[in-house]
């Protein structure tokens, strides 16, 4: 009977760390918005529509659960990717932003996707009118 006790104990010792790792996984989330500037680490001019002639837009993200990794801000005009910006995430939660200079022909439907490891955390639609 004793050999079974030792085998059971050895099995538990191997399985326990794996189970503990599964429960410590943190979900990565993002809160984001688009605006016309970032002042004192805060977004200003947040909107879903911007007038033609707007020089640039900023995508501002607050990311949780992704410390020591990267996210992408991926800008699209219509369905065409126009810019991809890699941003380092040093802590959790962590605020970061990117700037997209708008071209002269910027009028139309746009979006900025906040992406972590290929997963879209948030998709922000906006118009330039």
Identify the CATH number of the domain in which residue 38 sits: 2.60.40.1930
How many domains does the chain contain in total? 1
Whether 94 is in a domain gets the answer yes
- Cα–Cα dist 61/20, whole Å: 30
Residue at 21 is within a domain? no
In a domain? residue 34: yes
Q: How confident is the model at residue 26, as a pLDDT?
A: 82
Given its phi and psi angles, is residue 85 left (phi above 0), alpha (psi -120 to 50 degrees) or beta? beta
- pLDDT score of 128 more than 50: yes
Instruction: Provide the token pair at 84.
Output: 């991809």
Q: How many CA atoms lie within 13 A of 14 on its CB side?
A: 5
**Stretch 68-95: mean pLDDT:** 98
**Residue 50 placed within a domain:** yes
Identify whether 7 is part of a domain.
no
Is residue 1 situated within a structural domain? Answer: no
What is the pTM (predicted TM-score) of this model?
A: 0.80
State which residues form the domain around 40.
Answer: 26-128
């Amino acid at each position: 009977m004793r050999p079974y006790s030792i085998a059971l104990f050895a099995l538990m010792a191997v399985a326990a760390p794996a189970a503990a790792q599964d429960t410590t996984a943190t979900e990565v989330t993002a809160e984001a918005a688009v605006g016309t500037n970032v002042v004192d680490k805060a977004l200003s001019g947040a909107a879903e529509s911007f007038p033609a002639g707007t020089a640039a837009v900023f995508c501002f993200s607050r990311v949780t659960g992704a410390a020591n990794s990267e996210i992408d801000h991926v800008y699209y005009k219509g369905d065409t990717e126009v810019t991809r910006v890699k941003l380092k995430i040093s802590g959790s939660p962590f605020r970061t932003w990117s700037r997209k200079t708008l071209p002269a022909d910027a009028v139309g439907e746009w979006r900025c996707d906040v992406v972590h490891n290929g997963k879209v955390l948030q998709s922000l639609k906006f118009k330039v009118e």
